[in-house]
Amino acid sequence: MPIVFHESSKDFHLYNGQISYILTVLRNGQLGQLYFGKAIRDKESFNHLLETRARAMAVCAYEFDRVFSMEHIKQEYPSYGAGDMRHPAYEIVQENGSRITDFVYKSHRIYAGKPALSGLPATYTETDEEATTLEITLEDTLIKTELILSYTIFEQLPVIARSARFISHNPEQLRLNRAMSLNLDLPDKDYEMIELTGAWSRERSVKNRRLEHGITSIYSMRGCSSNNFNPFLALKRPETTEHTGPVYGFSLVYSGNFLAQVEVDTYDVARVSMGIHPEGFLWPLNNGDTFQTPEAVMVYSENGLNGMSQTFHTLYRSRLARGFWRDKTRPILINNWEATYFDFNEEKILNIASKAKELGIELFVLDDGWFGRRNDDLSSLGDWYPNLEKLPEGITGLAKKIQAMGLKFGLWFEPEMTNFDSDLYRAHPDWILSTPGRRVSHGRCQYVLDFSKTEVVDNIYEQMYKVLSEAPISYVKWDMNRCMSEVYSHGLDAGLQGTVMHRYILGVYSLYERLTQAFPEILFESCASGGARFDPGLLYYAPQCWTSDDTDAVERQKIQYGTSFVYPISSMGAHVSAVPNHQVLRYTPLNTRANVAYFGTFGYELDITKLPEDELETMKQQIAFMKENRRLLQYGTFYRLLSPFEGNVTAWMVVSDDKSKALIGFYRTLQPINVGYQRLQLKGLDETQNYHVTLAGQSSEETPKRLHVDMSAYGDELMYAGLITSDAASGENQEGYQGDNGDFQSRIYILEAMGK
């Protein structure tokens, strides 16, 4: 069994063939952290890894014992104030005002499999043999409260999933104002912290900084996980690269306010903590009440950042995403938003759908503007019934007509929002988050419905259920276009206002759960003004997310590259849009737009009824290519090769499980001249296989001047000597523009095994 408890030493050892995680029961009954990293052999005692020394001015747990100071011991789930002055994992305020607690070991349980978390998304197993779970029960007898720490180690992955649960048996009310999902004390600070940061239309940029004394943190207090920071951080050694060296990855399965930080004390211990942000959080615990933290996932890789990412990809793609669409290739879609915005009628929509069918597109998605009196963003959110002036036969009639063409039909909702100009708001003005007597801020002319109220969630569910049950709908795009402000729930007791933001997220999860259970074959795609809620929590309900509102092919290289640090290719909504691009006003070639979007869930977002025939023919070829390769693209092993944050060229690749086929995306932003010869070292191939190498889209009719690749090479050559990518830029570049030189160019290399 991959979890053992050694009675004599009080050590717990969680291990598989890749990692070990070791903790122990300390002399005072609390838990100490001994080791997390590459797998090591089990033995009866690891107590020598608990380092203690007498330190001047230390506050110690035992009188006349200058060694046992909680401030200088690496702990598992620490509290503040009883000797440890660092940031705690939790804090409980008692009736007398005290915040001091003493949770000591009471019992533990080891069992096969992994439990679900009530009301919360979490990773899971399909058989008990896939994972083993350890639950350690700690108790503070003075405040009559139990704390259960849960650890699950997966058999075949270097992964540990963690959470904490508080159970009060106290007749007096307790107040929980901090409850992290994990704490990890590491022995030194010699790490660089990687985070994914940004803003609307430049989400999840990769940032790297050295740890130093003090706190390095990322967070969201916006009510959503946010496009500013993602609930993820990684710690790597300075010498670690994309492909070699040790790295720890930490990811929170949650969609609301979060805090992820590393505190380095002046003895160089690095304390990692991650969980719900304590700002504005205050959760009362009455006798019999339970509070469950979200799940945090810890990954350790010896094979660099790619190794870490590939573990997250496998876990989140196959044991976080669920349901009918988890393992299925995603349909190629067209969305009408950038083609029409609010200005459409049934005839215009049917014309786009008809042309889409001719091109080989499989799914038509009707975006914002189909409901209430919605002709702009000023009205009707919350009124989820069709606008019969635009669609005389409603959504049902339109969906049936599109289905008769041979296309599936999808629909946009923004369930969590309303406008003042809506039937919903006029009937229930107390259903929005707003503070009595205070100005209500708006974003995008809309207001946040109070999803902490069950009656609000019930109302939206009933409206959406009616639409989805009456029409042949195969896809739902679930949008969320503003963060929370003036967070106050009308009718809720003052002492419960600190629960609203978390209850809101639980309400979102509840609505997702009810709809996905009622309509299991509908493909749900989450969206939050693009990528403002691209997090593991929503992948549990919606296996793909709209990666960003920015569809520019150059910017998307950065966005998709950063997103891939945690999230699988199958989760990234990626579309070809019009030029000039609607966000950055840049002109990029149609092939480059597709070559970037292939590495995601592929689609289009432009008015195809206005395109020239040569571009339509190119789109047919793109769609055929994606259909042929989408299983590989969406479910193969993904490698980052060259970073868009470090140079003019970006490269990545996907390799099939059997290593018989690979696709390499190669992107060059600006055209250089007279530069050196270029090679690209590939990854993940079979060294003994001979691969035929070609370019996507090339044919025997290519002119001699145009870049043409038709060669063979063994996997070891392609990985160690490299694939030659030199072209006309390694010279005077006098060939003339042929579609393969100039700015914003790209290629897709195809590698197919020919045998050994």
Instruction: Give catalytic residues, as residue numbers.
Output: 479, 549
Give whole-number Cα distances, 660 to 243, 329, 377, 599, in Å: 21, 19, 49, 18
CA separation for the pair 481, 470 (Å, rounded): 26
Enter the tokens of residue 389.
Answer: 């002036």
- Range list of β-strands (E), 169-321: 174-186, 192-197, 205-210, 214-220, 232-236, 247-253, 258-264, 270-276, 283-285, 290-292, 295-301
Query: Is the preceding omega at residue 284 within 30 degrees of 0, hence cis?
Result: no
Alpha-carbon distance values, 322 to 38, 164, 435, 520, 611 (Å): 30, 23, 38, 10, 38
Strands (E), 440-518: 447-448, 475-478
Farthest CA pair distance, the chain: 88
The tokens describing 287, both together, are: 């006798």
Pairing label, strands 333-335, 363-366:
parallel
Q: What is the DSSP string of 330-396?
A: PPPEEE-HHHHTT---HHHHHHHHHHHHHHT--EEEE-SS-BTT-SSTTB-TT--SB-TTT-TTHHH
* C-alpha to C-alpha distance for 532 and 549, rounded to whole angstroms: 10
Two tokens, residue 639: 């490698």
- Residue 271 CA to chain centroid, in angstroms? 23
User: In 457-479, which positions are buried (b, 16+ CB within 10 angstroms) versus exposed (e)?
Assistant: bebbbebbeebbeebebbbbbbb
